[in-house]
Chains A and B, each alone.
Chain A
Amino acid sequence: MAYKLKMPAIKEGVRDSTNQSSIYIFRLPKVGEGIAEGKLVTWLVSVGDSITEDEAIVEVQNDKLLQEVPSPVSGILSKILVEAGNTAQIGDAIAEISVEGSVSLAKDKEVLATTSKIQLKSSSERSNPSVVAKRVLAMPSVRQYARDKSVELSIISGSGKHGHIIREDIDAFLSNPAKENAIQETSEVKKSSIAQHDVHEAYAVVETDKTTREKMSITRRAISRAMVNSKAHAVHVAIFDEVEVSKLITHLQRFKEIADNQDVKLTYLAYMTKALITVLRKYPVLNASIDEVTEEIVYRNYFNIGFAVDTQRGLYVPNIKDADRKGIFTIAKEITDLANKAHEGTLEPFEMRDGSTTITNVGNIGGKWFTPIINFPEVAIFGMGRIEKKPIVLEDDTLGIGSVLHLSMSFDHRIVDGAMAQRAMNELKRLLANPELLLMEG
């Protein structure tokens, strides 16, 4: 399974001290930024197996990734505390490893130092309002309570005054498996006059003998949350259009071979990416987000164009970083690479973060127009449908056969007005109709 991420061995200095041969209580290490839990997919070793340090012992899946977690020590797996198929919280004891002799403490400390560094880094990178100046806003007694409960405080956002984490926040975190307090949701927790949503009551399906039940996967839950979140915040309006792309088809055919020679799979998606950069430059509000807390529009000074990848495990949206500084071949290459990673489950969280806008392409499957859901907090998403041969009216008012690409666009009407959206669509059509403009204006 060559595609899996290899995690650095992170050793929590927790061990049983009752006798000379030590038992390491192996706790689930951090498996990604801002991630509170992981599903133990497969145990790669069985109880009684001897393990060497850094050997992968368990596969863990979180929201987006499948990772191998290595053992921090050599020894014998003496007990599995969380069976495969179950979800564990970061810091939960998941196994016991019996270690012969004593393990060098210096090493322990070194690893501990690494762990805390990682924690510091990740907590400062995220915007948890309960982490200020690299310290978690919690009283010493609450910090002790969190240790007693094996809760990593830096992923909780506090409900106390100015973001303080209180004892009740830890209880709430523990009792609510959906982790409503977790940092991913903090933007909703904050109050703002333009973002007050009633939490709707959860819907439960009545059981009948004509239904079967299946647990939603972590990925499916994440997708579901993201969709609800987007619909709850952004005011979606969709527009539909079509553009004759014969020249684009010719252009792609002309360069396909050159691309092939360079190991690049040239696609319409790459052209679309390039065209969108010009559109976003002209209409910067499409490359913005709303800060609902401060009620400000935040413009991005970068162009990270996302695209949706349909995989067996669900939908992933990686983005091409700084696409404005890349040629179409490079973009095409990166699309292939990122799509492969999505299929393999090896996308890194940062590869899915900080997008400018998103393209969703169903053309290869079929269909013309649809109303895509905005990849929140972005404010626009562009849908590509099928390219279809159609009768069109030519310039000399005679009928001809054209190749027509179907385009959809959803935008957040809170900051994008309808007229501007249509102008942006017109610009996109102009560029796709004359792909050579991409060289001149791209």
Chain B
Amino acid sequence: MVVGDFARDLELVVIGSGPGGYVAAIRAAQLGKKVAIIERDAFGGVCLNVGCIPSKVLIHAAHHYVDVKADKFGVSAKEVEVNLEKTQRWKDEEVISKLTKGVEMLLKKNKIEIIKGSAFFNGPNHLRVVNGEESSSYQFNEAIIATGSRPIEIDGFKFNGRVLDSTGALNLKEIPKCFVVIGGGYIGCQMASVYANFGSKVTIIEADDNILPNFETDMVDLVKGQFASKNVDIITKARAKVASESSESVQITYTVDGNEQTLDADYVMVSVGRTPNTDDLGLQMASVEVDTSGFVKVDHQGRTSQQHIFAIGDVTPGPALAHKASYEAKIAAAALAGKNVKIDYVAMPAVCSADPELATVGFTKKQAEEEGIKVNVSLFPFEASGTALSLGNTEGFIRIVTDKSTGLILGGQVAGVGAGGIIAELALAIETRMNVEDISLTIHAHPTMSEVVLDVVDLALGLPIHI
């Protein structure tokens, strides 16, 4: 401690205000804790500012553009154009700004003290917060680490100028003529879809032998089909070497089968994964253990190697998903409030807003079989859905994986229009241990895409009406 530096006492301090941190802070306050939250940047974290929400805006805007141009259903428009600067302004002012202010308002409403700056542990019960020139010391009883993650930077592709991370790609003021994406995971494919829909010539460079490794190949094939129709090139088993930038463009060098190739683009986005923000927190000073990948080691409640310090969200092992962070936030807050809670889910939904939208929850057939469970798989195509036909969008399907003897719903995969919404029902079914009969006996409103869930469970029961 610096001489003359008085440490202020805090009861529970939450570090980071993303979908993990702000939820943990609010829940802990609701349960009677006196809470402070530290944020170095904007409230809402990556998710609200440079992740899920701005992506959703651009994805939606790009779809809107494509739809208006489509000349379908007897509706046609002339001279449709997109002004990305206006789109960005709408995104920043109408969406992000409202949401971050909303989070701040919620924090205040719950009497949570807000501390601006970057936090560093300098002891198991001490931390220092640096905000520009200012620096203050705090002593705390309990802490929740919710500092999230950031894009991985690879050799030869330093984020700068025309070499973008996802944040940069979300904030472009002009539609690139040529846009290259390195890494065909869900972030890469979403941004590739956005700019392909806006009319860019997009190329995806992927090191593996297929894009979207977290989804089954028949789902990925649909995305690849859409990419092909939009003239998106996908180069697999390729190693990105270096980006060399000029004032006009950027040249990307990569190798396939040992052969060096180059590509010119206006911008290149590197989306090869995310790394936890745990390296710059002084965790060793607090004796909080991390694993070799930098993830904080936690138990079944999110408790770290220190009794009084918890960690949630992207800094812990598992998929880097906002909704995982929010779930863990509530468990950690309840545990700190003395409740006998446990991270106890079997259904973790994941959505990729490519074209078509993909969503998955629970077991795939392969995963269930690896667990030694005998399953039935039922697939209902959107071609047979009246709603999908009305929407002029019949590409896709719902598939469910069910326990062979009991019909218990173990997993579901959805590709196509509304997949991200449809997956919620399957997640609920899995987490509440429903079987196909339970869903079959539940009325689904007509005409909606959710009806297809009814169709697929009827199919699983061997009594399909519509196929």
A residues lining the B interface (CB < 8 Å)? 13-15, 17, 20, 22, 102, 104-106, 108-109, 112, 132-140, 143-144, 147-148, 150, 161-162, 164
Contacts and interface: CB of A to CB of B under 8 A. Distances in A.
A272 B434 CA distance: 51
B307 A133 contact: no
Given A105-B299, A135-B346, 16 more contacts: A13-B299, A17-B303, A17-B307, A105-B289, A105-B297, A106-B297, A132-B403, A132-B408, A133-B371, A134-B371, A135-B433, A137-B408, A143-B344, A147-B341, A161-B438, A162-B435
Nearest to B306: A102
A161 B407 CA distance: 13
Contacts of A150: 340
A102 B305 contact: yes
A106 B289 contact: yes
27 contacts: A13-B301, A14-B340, A15-B307, A17-B303, A17-B307, A17-B308, A22-B307, A102-B305, A104-B305, A105-B289, A105-B299, A106-B289, A108-B299, A109-B299, A132-B403, A132-B433, A133-B410, A134-B371, A135-B408, A137-B433, A140-B345, A148-B339, A148-B340, A150-B340, A161-B438, A162-B406, A162-B437
B304 A105 contact: yes
Residue of A106, A108, A139, A140 with highest tally of chain B CB at under 10 A = A140
B368 interface: yes
B373 A134 contact: yes
A29 to B, nearest CB: 16
Contacts of A105: 289, 297, 299, 303-305
A139 B432 contact: yes
A137 B408 CA distance: 9
B297 A132 contact: no
B431 A140 contact: yes
A330 B308 CA distance: 59
Contacts of B89: none
A63 B303 CA distance: 36
A139 B306 contact: no
Given A13-B300, A139-B433, A133 B341 contact: no
A144 to B, nearest CB: 7
A150 B342 CA distance: 12
Contacts of A140: 344-345, 431-432
A291 to B, nearest CB: 15
Contacts of A137: 408, 433
A69 to B, nearest CB: 22
A138 B430 CA distance: 11
Contacts of A14: 340
B301 to A, nearest CB: 8
A378 to B, nearest CB: 26
A228 to B, nearest CB: 31
Nearest to B308: A17
Contacts of B437: 162
Nearest to A136: B433
A185 to B, nearest CB: 21
A143 B345 CA distance: 10
Interface in B386-422: 403, 405-406, 408, 410
Contacts of A106: 289, 297, 305
A14 B307 CA distance: 11
